[in-house]
């Protein structure tokens, strides 16, 4: 019988092909946190700071676990500072430290539904 492959977390082809583009961005007020949820699992995410202040990028809410205290975030501290994560995920969080923060986000989406992705937690993320 022929084997039928489909998109899935363990399917290598889902990550080898070019991702479907997905863009968003926003200004973010002091002390606020934005949760960006993707319609499909991302294979890479790029965040660009587009404001005059500091933003933090993380994979869990600052209210869950030890995200801030454990420094489980990346800081973008100047206008046009950017980072690309080559990771599979269904969401990312961006929080602001000071007024004047904003961001732009580009994600490369796979064909894997977001419901197949497990929560990102544990050492280095929430512990």
How much is the pLDDT for 30?
Answer: 92
In-domain check, residue 57: yes
Range of the domain at 104: 19-116
Q: How many domains does the chain have?
A: 1
How much is the pLDDT for 17?
Answer: 84
In-domain check, residue 25: yes
How much is the pLDDT for 108?
Answer: 97
In-domain check, residue 123: no
How much is the pLDDT for 14?
Answer: 82
pLDDT in tens, the chain (127 residues): 677 667 788 778 787 888 899 999 999 999 999 999 999 999 999 999 998 889 999 999 999 878 999 999 999 998 899 999 999 999 999 999 888 899 999 999 999 999 998 888 888 888 8
Domain harbouring 35, CATH code: 2.60.120.10
CA separation for the pair 79, 35 (Å, rounded): 21
CA separation for the pair 25, 50 (Å, rounded): 9
How much is the pLDDT for 18?
Answer: 85
How much is the pLDDT for 2?
Answer: 73
DSSP string, 1-27: --------TT-THHHHSPPEEEEEEEE
In-domain check, residue 56: yes
- Report pTM: 0.90
Among 11, 110, 3, 95, smallest CA distance to 56 is for: 95
């Amino acid at each position: 019988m022929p084997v039928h492959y489909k998109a899935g977390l363990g399917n290598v082809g889902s990550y080898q092909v070019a991702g479907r583009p997905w863009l968003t961005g926003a200004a973010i007020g002091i002390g606020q946190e934005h949760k960006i949820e993707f319609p499909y699992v991302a294979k890479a995410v790029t965040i660009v700071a587009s404001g005059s202040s500091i933003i933090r990028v993380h994979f869990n809410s600052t209210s869950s676990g030890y995200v801030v205290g454990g420094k489980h975030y990346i800081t973008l501290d100047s206008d046009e500072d950017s980072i690309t994560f080559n990771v599979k995920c269904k969401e990312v969080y961006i929080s602001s430290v000071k007024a004047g923060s904003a961001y732009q986000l580009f994600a490369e989406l796979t064909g894997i539904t977001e419901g197949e992705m497990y929560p990102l937690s544990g050492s280095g993320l929430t512990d």
